[in-house]
Amino acid sequence: MTVLVLGGTGFIGAPLVRALRARGDDVVSVSRDGGGPGGVACDRTDVPALTALARARGVDTVIDLLAYTRADTLPLIEGFGGQVERYVLASSLDVYRNYEGLHRKASPIPILQPLDEDAPLRTTRHPYRAEPRRAAGDADAWLDDYDKIPLEDALRRADLRHTILRLPMVYGPGDRQQRFRWAISPMLKGRPRLTIDPGWAAWRTTYGFVGDVTDALAHAAGHAGAVDRTFNLGEAEPPDHREWVKRFARTVGWSGLVETRPAPQDSPIATLDLGYPLVADTRAFRATCGWREPTALTERLERTVAEQRVRETVSS
């Protein structure tokens, strides 16, 4: 299989390229700057160049990790129509209706059970749009038009075999958002107490270790059972944040006190309605594609802590 990866040098892209090559696939890694030896420099908006590259290299599968807006994705879906055997779209769990409740964009009845692929989707669009909208020159201006739902819809309507994978919150080495810094950093600094908001402590969402998520992406791209299907990815039985704290405490060897206190009003946590869990049901992908995480939990935790330790050292 020859796979063209759009976004092949990023947090998810780089390990995905390695996972595909480990499976024996020929990989064409595309990014704006090429990313070094073997990479190809090309902007995703240059559809003629990308389709010509795909023809020249005999690409049969495209994995799009950077599909964010209609403007940057619909021309690609149209351009690759009839040319490649499959288009794999990296979507997100933010398509679900609970997400708009979580971010107070609407007030739907919370769905408390794990969300399967047929769970209700958001009724609102553009979950990260600012009011007023960001200035044209703002580096985050693209967030005003971000929305995975219309991209999923467009791909399903296209004359193109596809796989849509709704990614969880991805953590691990290379995570620029440092999703677990709030828990790990105080432990690494030897703080005697870790204070967390009670709602945040009890909140549950689906995370996915980067090595496991990229293995699932690579697995799905070549699996016949994933054709024209939509799947949730992520860890099978996500715990609440209180349990994540315990896990990291054991990994770090921290024995401090965990206390709960409401987050300050200006905290990002205070903007969320934590009565809306964001737990995905990932059984369909596991059953259909015969997949399970290749990385043991202890390794996931150790590598995440090691990454945070490096970041703490660099920033000190």
pLDDT at 59 over 80: yes
* Threshold 0.85, pTM exceeds: yes
Q: Are 261 and 270 in contact (CB under 8 A)?
A: no
Mean pLDDT of the chain: 96
Instruction: Convert the pLDDT of each residue in 5-44 to its tens digit.
Output: 999 999 999 999 999 999 999 999 999 988 777 799 999 9
CA distance 39 to 30: 6
Cα–Cα distances (Å) from 293 to 20, 22, 82, 153, 236, in that order, read 16, 16, 33, 29, 9
Does the structure show a pLDDT above 70 at 153?
yes
Q: Would you give the distance in Å from CA 66 to the centre of its chain?
A: 10
Closest listed residue to residue 110, CA positions, set 283, 281, 278: 278
Statement: residue 316 has pLDDT above 70: no
Please state, for a pLDDT cut of 70, what percent of the chain lies above it.
99
Helix (H) or strand (E) holding 202: helix 198-202
Alpha-carbon span 234 to 38, nearest angstrom? 30
Fold of 2-174+207-237+278-295: Rossmann fold (3.40.50)
Confirm if 180 and 243 have CB atoms less than 8 A apart: no
Predicted pLDDT of residue 313: 83
The string of pLDDT tens digits covering residues 163-186 is: 999 999 999 999 999 999 999 999
The pLDDT, as a whole number, for residue 256 is 97
- Mean pLDDT of all residues in 272-298: 98
